[in-house]
Amino acid sequence: MTSDPLLALRPWEAPEVTSWGRLPMNAVDRRDGALPLDGDWRFQLLSAPHAPVGGAWSTSRVPGVWTMQGTDDLPQYTNVRMPFPQYPPASPAANPTGVYEREVDVPADWAGRRVVLQVGAAESVLLVHVDGRPVGVSKDSHLAAEFDLTALVRPGTSATVRLTVVKWSDASHIEDQDQWWHGGITRSVLLYATDPLHLADVTVRARYSGDLRVDCRVRDTGGALPAGWYLTGDLDGRPLAQDTEFDRANAEDERVSDFLGEARLLTTVPEVRTWNAETPELYDLTVRLHRADGTVADTSRHRIGFRDVEIVGRDLLVNGERVFIRGVNRHDFHPLTGRTVSYDDMRADLVLLKRFGFNAVRTAHYPNDPTLYDLADELGFYVVDEADIESHDHAHETADDPRYLGAFVDRVSRMVLRDKNHPSVIIWSLGNESDYGANHDAAAGWVRRHDPTRPIQYEGAAKLGWADPELASDIACPMYAPLEDCVAHALSGEQTKPLIQCEYSHAMGNSNGTLADHWAAIEATPGLQGGFIWEFWDHGILQRVSDGRPAGRGGAGLYDNGVAAPGYRWAYGGDFGETIHDGAFIADGVVFPDRTPKPAMYEHREIAAPVRIESYRHEGVVLTNHQHFRGFDWLAAVWELSLADGRTLTAPAELPELCPGETAAVPLPFALPEDGGEAWLTLRVTTARDLPWAPRGTEVCVPQIQLRQADVRREPVAAGSVEVDGEGLLVHPLLTVAPALSLWRAPTDNDELGGMAGRWRSWGLDALVRKVVSVREDAGQVTVRSEYAGTTGVVRHRQVFTPVAGGVRVEEEAELPEAFDDVARVGTVFETVAGLDLLEWFGQGPWESYPDRRAGAPVGHHSLPVDELFTPYLRPQESGGRHGVRRFTLSAPDATGLAVVLDEPRQVCVTRYRAEDLTAATHHDELVPRPGCVVHLDAAHRGLGTASCGPDTFPSYRVAPGVHRWSWTLRVL
Ligand code: GAL
Ligand code: MG
């Protein structure tokens, strides 16, 4: 038996013990003036909490996880299943335990003050000792723990602080979030001092009306409160009034004792600048606690926003407006630190989200770093703040287990106590994927009493009945609900709660198909209000390929544009030698691990466009303001007219003055040329001035409308001949592989996990065997009939080659048997000689687009180097496609090359990789670019959908069996 009482408590296997010796959570920010204890600490990694400390010390960086800092305990990724077999509350005997130690010089001028240690976050159990004496215990890997050290340290001397962090515990079972498992201290550690007479908590209620109420709690660690203490406060310099009515009521009811002081400050701000995500107006609030003689004992500063949140009927209203929730789920993640994120990191996350039209964040699945909320207040985001509870693998066992009751209430209530003053937080979430039980209702009850100003949501409750008033969720917040179910619910007449999906549009790999369809339905259907895309990050950890270790902080700069430098790669589940893992399911974000946006981000940006082109009528172009609170004064715009003949005309645009929701027609800035063919009008909208999240000139959206259709012209046959070889394959000087039929794409994650790829393989589509049936020549025209045999069917294919001026027209027909229903693509693939490194095209772009993800890629004249067309999804897969391509050239620097004109807008893909190269690779670093180009022209291409977790693409985006026809001409430049 150990003599140490903290170890003797065995808190890692005692769910009833949520803390010991820990101070209550509060919303007083103590970072200012504190003594930071971040940096290198002495460190030992024990094999279990009871193993003796006494080996050699190394060092470990705080904040940081040891799993990323050179120990043999490496990151492990699991989704649902626990990494160890024990049932709650047990944890494995082999239990990595990090012992962190350092000396702390306690400032001499802290004599007589109350000294507090704050540990920002430690996973999963924290034990604190000072000079060998037990101080306290804390759990919840994503909230700070504070301990009063006043009695243990002597100002002017140094103390040894030891933080023991036990990796596995009863708490791991309720921290089973789908992410990497780590061990360590993930947020800053600091020491601060206050007067014994101090502000214990400050609660701010700032209403849309301009009414402000500040409730303060006051304590004195010396004992009873000294007589005569009082509070003052000011808001942007304007003094607040003491609520004497509150004082009188408190005194009469004998509610407050000598040991707990309460006071309330009030004001009403006339013509208040209210807070919302579009115009996040903040005020500076200062609260001061005075001794009787007027001197200030304590001060608390807050940036506050005036706003209301309420549910009226089935609408969630912010300041009375039914706002759309354009959200994303965000983890605290970093490819070099694992979980520790800096102010700059978080700011960069939110700035990027802002630039791509997001206005909401769900802090999946735990309270994020406190700085994130400051930034959300400042930059303008609606936050669903989620408690650190996910018991996915043992959900049912824990939700009603009374041993975990305290933990549930503790986690939810401490989150609320920490974050209640942030205007950005509009909803509290009880956690994620933890079934639904009495423990949730207990936590919900606490919140309803403590903070009646915000709704609660919990998916685990909502799924038992979207409209059921008894359940602990004020929002119907399903995950991955089929769109038709959402629409049907909204139309059913049964809806009672706002429907905002807590997760939808799973962003794994090449994904987010049908996002625009979702938003078309959301905007058209009262009762639907949006949702949170799953998720922001691809959690790839930068890994050295040579020894399989995380690069750690030394990897700074060893990546660019989403790609790891040679010798490195983005690791996903299984890459650290884990036997239990869930592979690439950890790479499911809209940004790469280095925050490079995936093409899906542009789709989102356009869907969220504040300016929309509704129509084009004789009186001009009809524009609508699609915001909730502001006009267009922050925006500038330019008109662009793209003509099929290659011309692009531009003209300055004058945005009309429109209130939210209003529409107006503006005159067309161009006389549409008589000639020029197909014509597209684009409005390039940018920021008109520098904003906190975007310098002036940052592109905001590019709404577009077609002004004139293409006229279909068929080129006349020219004299000449076409050469095919003995197999009936086209012989062409610029092609190294002749045009052949392709039905295969390197499966996307959606194709694999949704089961489509398995079907395609079982039909043999990845290895079709071609057999030429006949080759016929007739007056210069060659007709080649062939068959492509799979294992369960044969595709009949015909190519007709006709000489046309300067090249050859290829007319193709493929007849798919009924057995090949819903294939990846039907089209042509060929390969070019090396050196044709520039793609110029007229079609949708410039970024990657697919049939069901193309709302953000305007039609125009685009050009990109071939090497930049490919999107380096972590697990290689179909990528680089461009939708609606009418024609393109592939050229060398001397302008030689080839030109292709398609019969109608088609899906085209030009990369350095064959579909089989991508299919065979597991990581990007395994890919070897081919010298030439691999070119796909598709008559039909399957949508992307989101079937890796959630709905597949819609039937209209699937490829039907039967006859497909397409044609194209190939010319030499
Ligand atoms: C949800 C879950 C997320 C994540 C996602 C799939 O079920 O809440 O944490 O696992 O699925 O990536
Ligand atoms: Mg889960």
- Which DSSP string do the residues of 911-948 spell out, in sequence order? ESS-HHHHHH-SSGGG----SS-EEEEEEEE-----GG
Over residues 657-693, the pLDDT tens digits come to 999 999 999 998 888 888 889 999 999 999 999 999 9
| Residue 652 pLDDT | 95
Nearest Cα neighbor of 594 from 539, 548, 634 is: 539
The maximal CA–CA distance of the chain, rounded, in angstroms, is: 110
| Residue 2 pLDDT | 63
Q: Are 337 and 676 in contact (CB under 8 A)?
A: no
Which of 433, 459, 606, 878 is the catalytic position?
A: 433
Q: Which secondary-structure segment (H or E) carries 535?
A: none
In whole angstroms, give the CA distance from residue 441 to residue 400.
Answer: 10
3-state secondary structure of 12: helix
User: Ligand 1 in contact with 588 (CB < 6 A)?
Assistant: yes
Q: Are 666 and 611 in contact (CB under 8 A)?
A: no
Beta bridge partners of 230: 290
- Residue owning tokens 């996990």: 753
CA of 191 to the centre of ligand 2 (A): 35
Q: Terminal CA-to-CA distance of the chain, rounded, Å?
A: 84
Residue 368 has pLDDT above 90, yes or no: yes
Going by the DSSP 8-state scheme, the letter that residue 383 receives in this structure is E
Q: In this structure, what token pair is assigned to residue 510?
A: 């090449």
Nearest Cα neighbor of 458 from 435, 442, 481, 484 is: 435
User: Ligand 1 in contact with 949 (CB < 6 A)?
Assistant: yes
Beta bridge partners of 530: 325, 500
Residue 646 has pLDDT above 70, yes or no: yes
The reply to whether omega before 535 is within 30° of 0 (cis) is yes
CA of 549 to the centre of ligand 1 (A): 26
Ligand sitting nearest the alpha carbon of 431:
1
3-state secondary structure of 372: helix
Query: Does the predicted model carry a pTM greater than 0.85?
Result: yes
Neighbours of ion ligand 2 (CB under 5 A): 178, 392, 433
The percentage of the chain sitting over the pLDDT mark of 70, rounded to a whole number, equals 100
Residue 259 has pLDDT above 90, yes or no: no
3-state secondary structure of 371: helix
Q: Which atom of ligand 1 is nearest to the CA of 535?
A: 12
CA of 395 to the centre of ligand 2 (A): 10
Nearest Cα neighbor of 229 from 311, 288, 290 is: 290
User: Which residue is closest in CA terms to ligand 1's atom 4?
Assistant: 178
Which of 386, 390, 503, 878 is the catalytic position?
A: 503
Over residues 918-929, the pLDDT tens digits come to 999 999 999 999
Over residues 556-576, the pLDDT tens digits come to 999 999 999 999 999 999 999
| Residue 713 pLDDT | 76
User: Ligand 1 in contact with 178 (CB < 6 A)?
Assistant: yes
User: Ligand 1 in contact with 503 (CB < 6 A)?
Assistant: yes
Q: Are 935 and 830 in contact (CB under 8 A)?
A: yes
CA of 534 to the centre of ligand 1 (A): 7
Q: Which secondary-structure segment (H or E) carries 282?
A: none
Domains of the chain: 5-194 (2.60.120.260), 209-304 (2.60.40.10), 309-539+587-602 (3.20.20.80), 542-575 (no CATH), 610-702 (2.60.40.10), 735-972 (2.70.98.10)
Residues 6+ apart with CB under 8 A from 113: 150, 155, 193, 194, 195, 196
Ligand sitting nearest the alpha carbon of 537:
1
Question: CA–CA distance from 751 to each of 509, 511, 513, 946, 948 (Å)?
Answer: 10, 10, 12, 9, 7
Cα 646 → chain centroid:
38
| Residue 1 pLDDT | 46
Q: What average pLDDT does range 604-630 have in this prediction?
A: 95
Over residues 191-207, the pLDDT tens digits come to 999 999 999 999 999 99
User: Ligand 1 in contact with 79 (CB < 6 A)?
Assistant: yes
User: Which residue is closest in CA terms to ligand 1's atom 6?
Assistant: 949
The answer to whether residue 503 is catalytic is: yes
Q: Which atom of ligand 1 is nearest to the CA of 365?
A: 9
Residues 6+ apart with CB under 8 A from 245: none
Q: In what order do the strands lie in the sheet with 309-312?
A: 309-312, 315-318, 321-322
In whole angstroms, give the CA distance from residue 949 to residue 482.
Answer: 11
In whole angstroms, give the CA distance from residue 497 to residue 481.
Answer: 16
Q: What average pLDDT does range 359-387 have in this prediction?
A: 98
Ligand sitting nearest the alpha carbon of 479:
1
User: Ligand 1 in contact with 432 (CB < 6 A)?
Assistant: yes
Q: In this structure, what token pair is assigned to residue 856?
A: 């953000």
Over residues 578-591, the pLDDT tens digits come to 999 999 999 999 99
Cα 260 → chain centroid:
43
pLDDT tier at 715, thresholds 50, 70, 90: confident
Question: Among positive and negative, which fits the CA dihedral 576, 577, 581, 587?
Answer: positive
CA of 584 to the centre of ligand 2 (A): 15
User: Which residue is closest in CA terms to ligand 1's atom 10?
Assistant: 178
Q: Which segments of 124-183 are extended strands (E)?
A: 125-130, 133-139, 145-148, 158-166, 179-181
In whole angstroms, give the CA distance from residue 570 to residue 450.
Answer: 44
In whole angstroms, give the CA distance from residue 766 to residue 17.
Answer: 56
CA of 872 to the centre of ligand 1 (A): 23
pLDDT tier at 258, thresholds 50, 70, 90: confident
